[in-house]
Each structure stands twice: as C-alpha cells, then as structure tokens.
Amino acid sequence: MAANLGDLQAFMAVARAGGFREAARVGGVSASSLSETVRRLESELGVRLLNRTTRSVA
C-alpha cells in the first residue's frame, strides 16, 4: 500500500506536537492509531522518520 496524504499529515502532526499523545489530543484520534500510521509510513518508505523516546519524538 502506498503512502497517502493522511499518513503524511499524521507524521507531520506528531513531529509538530513533539509526541504522539499531544498530536492525538489535538487531532481527536488515539495515540495508538497515530503510532501505527507512522510505523506503517516508515516501513513503506524504508526509513526511520522519528526517533522515539519514552517521553517524546525527535
């Protein structure tokens, strides 16, 4: 499945918010769905887009 605009928007929301929880709160979705979307995008592109820690992403 090819990346779509929604996947890219999810990634950008997480990157801007600095974390999945805040991006989920702002976007009205679950953090787990955002995480899965970003992981799928990373897998499709073959690159790590975010450096995850227990508190934030970079």
Longest dimension (CA), the chain: 30
> How far apart (Å, rounded) are the C-alpha atoms in residues 1 and 16?
25
Number of domains composing the chain: 1
> How far apart (Å, rounded) are the C-alpha atoms in residues 7 and 36?
10
Give the 3-state secondary structure of residue 50: coil
Q: Which pLDDT tens digit goes with each residue over 1-58?
A: 677 999 999 999 999 999 999 999 999 999 999 999 999 999 999 999 998 877 767 6
User: Could you tell me if residue 56 is inside a domain?
Assistant: no
State the DSSP string of 26-37. Answer: HHTS-HHHHHHH
The predicted structure's pLDDT at residue 2: 76
14: containing domain: 5-45
The predicted structure's pLDDT at residue 54: 73
The predicted structure's pLDDT at residue 57: 77
Q: Is the Cα dihedral 11, 17, 18, 20 positive or negative? A: negative
User: Could you tell me if residue 51 is inside a domain?
Assistant: no
